[in-house]
A and B are shown apart, each in its own frame.
Chain A
Amino acid sequence: MRHFVWERYWSVVKKEVIQIKRDRPSLAIALVMPLMLLFLFGYAVNTDVNDIQMAVWNQSPSAASRELVDQFVNTRVFEVAAHVSSYKEIEAMLDDGSVNVALIIGPDYTRKRDRNEPVDVQMLINGSDPNIARTATSQAQLIVQHQAITLQEMKLQKQGLGELEQPLGLDTRVLFNPNMESIVFNIPGLIGLIMQNVTMILTAFSLVREKERGTMEQLIVTPIRPLELMLGKITPYVGVGLFSFCLVLLVGTYWFGVPIKGSISLLVTLSVLFLVTTLLLGIFISTVAKTQLQAMQMAFAFILPSVLLSGFMFPRDSMPLVIQWLGGLVPLTYFLEILRGIFLKGVDIDALWKDVVGMSSFCLLILTVAILRFRKKIE
Chain B
Amino acid sequence: MNTAIQCEQLTKRFGDRVAVNSLTLTVPRGSIYGFLGPNGSGKSTTIRMLCGLLTPTTGKGTVLGFDVMSQSEEIKQRIGYMSQKFSLYEDLTVEENLDFYAGVYRLGAGERKERKAELIEMAGLTGREKQLAGSLSGGWKQRLALSCALLHKPELLILDEPTAGVDPVSRRIFWDVIHELARQGITVLVTTHYMDEAQTCDWIGFIFFGNLLAEGTPQELIDRMGVGNLEDVFIDLVRQEEARQAAGEGVR
Binary interface encoding of chain A residues 349-379 relative to chain B, with 1 for a CB under 8 A from any of its CBs, else 0:
0000000000000000000000000001111
A159 interface residue per 8 A CB criterion:
no
Binary interface encoding of chain A residues 202-223 relative to chain B, with 1 for a CB under 8 A from any of its CBs, else 0:
0000000000011111111111
Compute how far the CA of A379 lies from the CA of B77 in the bound complex, rounded to whole angstroms. 21
A18 interface residue per 8 A CB criterion:
yes
B residues near A10, Cβ cutoff 8 Å: 103
Among the 9-residue stretches A1-9, A123-131, A177-185, the one with 4 or more Cβ atoms under 8 Å from chain B is: A1-9
Pick the contact of A221: B53, B90, B92 (CB < 8 A).
B53
Q: Are A5 and B74 in contact (CB under 8 A)?
A: no
Compute how far the CA of A8 lies from the CA of B99 in the bound complex, rounded to whole angstroms. 11
Number of A-B contacts (CB under 8 A): 82
Q: Are A215 and B89 in contact (CB under 8 A)?
A: yes
Q: Are B104 and A222 in contact (CB under 8 A)?
A: yes
Interface of A is mostly: helix
Of residues B54, B85, B103, B145, which shows the largest number of chain A Cβ atoms within 10 Å of its Cβ? B103
B159 interface residue per 8 A CB criterion:
no
Q: Are A18 and B148 in contact (CB under 8 A)?
A: no
A residues near B72, Cβ cutoff 8 Å: 376
Compute how far the CA of A377 lies from the CA of B243 in the bound complex, rounded to whole angstroms. 36
Of residues A214, A221, A378, which shows the largest number of chain B Cβ atoms within 10 Å of its Cβ? A221
Q: Are B53 and A220 in contact (CB under 8 A)?
A: yes
Pick the contact of B103: A8, A377, A379 (CB < 8 A).
A8
Interface residues on B, range: 20 to 34
Interface residues of B in 73-103 (CB under 8 A from A): 73-74, 76-77, 79, 81, 83, 85-92, 96, 99-103
Pick the contact of A222: B48, B83, B99, B105 (CB < 8 A).
B105
Q: Are B103 and A14 in contact (CB under 8 A)?
A: yes
Q: Are A214 and B87 in contact (CB under 8 A)?
A: yes
Q: Are B52 and A223 in contact (CB under 8 A)?
A: no
B183 interface residue per 8 A CB criterion:
no
Compute how far the CA of A23 lies from the CA of B132 in the bound complex, rounded to whole angstroms. 13
A11 interface residue per 8 A CB criterion:
yes
A15 interface residue per 8 A CB criterion:
yes
B residues near A213, Cβ cutoff 8 Å: 87, 90
Q: Are B100 and A218 in contact (CB under 8 A)?
A: no
Compute how far the CA of A361 lies from the CA of B51 in the bound complex, rounded to whole angstroms. 36
Return A356 CB to nearest CB of chain B, in Å: 34
Binary interface encoding of chain A residues 135-156 relative to chain B, with 1 for a CB under 8 A from any of its CBs, else 0:
0000000000000000000000
B55 interface residue per 8 A CB criterion:
yes
Given A10-B103, A376-B52, A15 and B81 contact (CB-CB distance below 8 Å): no
Compute how far the CA of A367 lies from the CA of B165 in the bound complex, rounded to whole angstroms. 42
Pick the contact of B92: A18, A376, A377 (CB < 8 A).
A18
Q: Are B53 and A1 in contact (CB under 8 A)?
A: no
Q: Are A223 and B77 in contact (CB under 8 A)?
A: yes
Binary interface encoding of chain B residues 158-200 relative to chain A, with 1 for a CB under 8 A from any of its CBs, else 0:
0000000000000000000000000000000000000000000
Q: Are B76 and A223 in contact (CB under 8 A)?
A: yes
A residues near B88, Cβ cutoff 8 Å: 215, 218
A-B contact pairs, 20 of them (CB 8 A): A11-B103, A12-B100, A12-B104, A15-B89, A15-B92, A19-B91, A23-B91, A214-B85, A215-B88, A217-B53, A217-B83, A218-B81, A218-B145, A221-B53, A221-B81, A223-B73, A223-B104, A376-B52, A377-B52, A379-B54
Contacts beyond the supplied A11-B99, A18-B91, A217-B85: 7 A-B pairs with Cβ under 8 Å: A5-B106, A12-B104, A214-B83, A215-B88, A216-B87, A376-B72, A378-B53
Q: Which residues of A approach B to under 8 Å, CB–CB?
A: 1, 5, 7-8, 10-12, 14-15, 18-19, 22-23, 213-224, 376-379
